[in-house]
Amino acid sequence: MSSDHTISPLCHGEFKHFKTAILNDGILLAGFDYFGKSVNVLNVESLSEWREIVQFVEQSAAIKGVVLVSLKEGNFCAGADLEQMHDAQRRCSFQEMEQLVITAHKLFDAMERSPKPFVAAVEGACLGGGLELALACHERIASTHPRTCFALPEVKLGILPGFGGTQRLPRLIGLPAALDMITTGKTIFPRQALRMGLVEGMVSSIPSSVRTLEKIQKEILVQAAIAQARVLCSAPARRRPLRASQRFLSGPGIRTFVCRYARHQVIKRVRHFYPAPLRAIDAVEGGMRLSILEGSLTVEKPLLLDLMASPISAHLVGLFLAGEEVKRKVATVPEAATRLGVLGAGLMGAQIAGQLSEKGYAVVLRDVSSNILATAIGRIHKTQTAQVRKRIILPSDLRYRMMRIAPTIHIRDVSAAPLVIEAVSEKLDVKRAVLAEFESEARPDAIFATNTSSYTLADIAVKAVHPERCVGLHFFNPVARMQLVEVVRAPFTSDIALAQACSLAKRLGKFPLVVHDGPGFLVNRILSRYLAEAVIMVGEGISIRRIDTVAKSFGMAVDSGHPMGPLELLDLIGLPVAMHVLTSLAVLGPRVESRDALLRNFLPEKKPPLTFWKSGKENAQALDAVANYRRAYPSEANPISDNILHQRLFLPMVDEAARCLHDKIVEHSWQVDFALTYGIGFPAFRGGLLTWARQTMTPGQITQELESLAVKYGKRFDPCPGFSSGGW
């Protein structure tokens, strides 16, 4: 920006959530800076201020155009204010929300129709209503800042893009691409956005650390947006025509088929569990015959309000806010470590090292042999290359990421790291030996974070010289996809070790849920009851397909896009690991029965373990293994209804969750709901394990069901003392 630009206060005075400046050539620079929040949100307050600004622009002859920018670091706008929406859902009162939606539609329409150009300068996350605000601008320029991304994630909250997104997006990027974004909520990165026409320009820009209007004017992004606004002032913006193929696929003749295909894809992915993506397609299809404002008000809005009033959306928004709470509540440290160690370069260690380098950490990755390290590096490279192919990162980014990982076989190379993640083989003596090695080499204040899934922190640190620096950092597999990390605190864990571990998980973009030490912590402890019961049923001769089908019909793992029953999940975890976890959790008492005699038949000598499923079918060898077991341990194959099968899978999980609360592994039932949803794919639309249980039956009824299962199938179903009085 040239120095002749002076800043004059907007005649209307100061705003609470926007800072404004009129530049000499009549461009109004509007900096969104929602007061009191770390991200910008759209609600009654911020939208009415934005409306005042838009009206002022309309009325003032001195203003020729507008550049909208964010003054928040790494966030353009997070979308609608979900706390306000959740409050409306709790009160079942939607008049205020409806008013907000109408205001947004009229306001965005006024921007779009304005003869004065609006240009959005997008840096950071531009999500939901934030993207709809940017779509109402005449043009969008994006910066390549690592946090810049675009998405309409409303379907993940059980609603649809309700500020005109279903109307504007197909007109901008064509019907197929818009339906894909809207029905999946997928994230689009700047290079992808430019290619698909979601933004008109992209610049590499260094953000100023002081986020004032004066400072950000020097940024390349803002300069580019101002320059573009000036160009548009003299040659008014016209909507860029769609490419021929996009035009063809969005045209009246073919539109019905494209929408039918999109519905088919949605049902394939989420079955009929989630109505929002289907209603979003209705909104897109219904609105294409109308003007944007008409489509927004008469098609999109009623569908949105219906969805907002549904219990599914209330559950999904509740879980989303629980995640925000988890992130907000944890103690963190201001000083970020930049160089970390990872011990063990197997399945988990390699993934963790890849994630760390992706987020900018230098990583020393240690294993016992160069061959293992070479395999791990190859695996990380493959995953990162996929991001280059998808245009998420540049080949140079890939090179930098790989250069940040230093493989080694020497423990001394890890000695300078202030925090080390241990992901070595799940054997207690190996873990203890690795901790001892770490203590002899590491800095006196270095933190040891174990990724164990079945031992307690107390078991591992039993001989530690400095147990206070031991903490659990339990990632889930696959690390890049699973958002939950259990941060395990033992009585001896220091506050600083806990805060370091939480900070790291948060910087990796995960939800760091603090849990107390105990066998299986929270998630695996509850999961073990589900998996063990599935294996017991296989041993009784119940078909593999039937067990998994019952779990999938309930919605297990549907949110991952790959519905999965317990036996398919066992295949994914890998039988040796799963057996190990189940055996270790036998310390919980006779309620975790691991059926080793059956599973040992699945481990042929010198061959890979058998899986329950093979190429989408029940594995014939697994069926033979079950038949062998049943010959050795004959039992009557009693008929069982789907309802009892369902109860046998899910009621023990509820019982175990109540026990976890009793043992203070976590304090609140919402933490159980959150952990199981994000840790093992308990269906989010049911609101979480305990919410589902409470809404389906009374504690007394569940107690009765468990007691009758105990009579028929064994004492492992006995409910925990006090279960029937609720409180969980």
Least distance in Å: CB of 576 to ligand NAD?
9
Q: Residue 594: name the closest of 570, 613, 614 by CA.
A: 570
Least distance in Å: CB of 22 to ligand NAD?
56
Q: How far apart are CA 192 and CA 173, in angstroms?
A: 12
CA angle 7, 12, 16 (to 5 degrees): 85
Residue 167 or 355: the one with the smaller Cβ distance to ligand NAD is 355
Q: Are strands 470-475 and 484-489 parallel, antiparallel or unpaired?
A: antiparallel
Q: Residue 67: name the closest of 116, 29, 16 by CA.
A: 29
Q: How far apart are CA 655 and CA 634, in angstroms?
A: 29
Spell out the long-range contacts of 327-334 with Cβ–Cβ below 8 A and sequence spacing 24 or more.
327/506, 327/511, 327/512, 330/487, 330/499, 330/502, 330/506, 330/512, 330/514, 331/495, 331/498, 331/499, 331/502, 332/499, 332/502, 332/503, 332/506, 333/496, 333/499, 333/500, 333/503
Least distance in Å: CB of 457 to ligand NAD?
12
- C-beta of residue 450 within 8 angstroms of C-beta of residue 457: yes
Residue 430 or 586: the one with the smaller Cβ distance to ligand NAD is 430
Q: How far apart are CA 122 and CA 125, in angstroms?
A: 8
Q: How far apart are CA 47 and CA 67, in angstroms?
A: 16
Least distance in Å: CB of 585 to ligand NAD?
12
Least distance in Å: CB of 316 to ligand NAD?
26
Can you name the residues that pair with 512 across neighbouring β-strands? 485
Residue 147 or 427: the one with the smaller Cβ distance to ligand NAD is 427
Residue 68 or 420: the one with the smaller Cβ distance to ligand NAD is 420
**Tokens 């947006």, residue?**
225
Least distance in Å: CB of 166 to ligand NAD?
39
Least distance in Å: CB of 479 to ligand NAD?
8
Q: At 95, is the secondary structure helix, strand, or coil?
A: helix
Residue 333 or 430: the one with the smaller Cβ distance to ligand NAD is 430
Q: How far apart are CA 427 and CA 431, in angstroms?
A: 6
Residue 441 or 707: the one with the smaller Cβ distance to ligand NAD is 441
Residue number of the CB closest to ligand NAD reads 346
DSSP structural state of residue 146: T
Residue 45's CB is within 10 A of a number of other CB atoms, namely: 16
Catalytic residue among 17, 466, 474, 516: 474
For 163-285, strand residue ranges (E) read 201-203
Question: Residue 376: enclosing H or E segment and its boundaries?
Answer: helix 370-389
Residue 251 or 378: the one with the smaller Cβ distance to ligand NAD is 378
**Tokens 């220091």, residue?**
494
Three-class secondary structure assignment of 677-727: HHHHCCCHHHCCHHHHHHHHCCHHHHHHHHHHHHHHHCHHHCCCCCHHHCC
Question: Residue 326: enclosing H or E segment and its boundaries?
Answer: helix 311-329
Q: What are phi and psi of 331, to 5 degrees?
A: -75, 135
Tokens of 119: 């240009």
- C-beta of residue 424 within 8 angstroms of C-beta of residue 431: yes
Catalytic-residue membership of 474: yes
Least distance in Å: CB of 244 to ligand NAD?
47
> How many CA atoms does the CB half-sphere of 99 hold within 13 Å?
11
Least distance in Å: CB of 515 to ligand NAD?
14
Least distance in Å: CB of 577 to ligand NAD?
5
Binding site for ligand NAD (CB under 6 A): 343-349, 366-368, 372, 423-426, 430, 434, 451-453, 475-477, 573, 577
Q: At 521, is the secondary structure helix, strand, or coil?
A: coil
Least distance in Å: CB of 598 to ligand NAD?
21
Q: How far apart are CA 349 and CA 475, in angstroms?
A: 10
| Residues carrying an active site annotation | 474
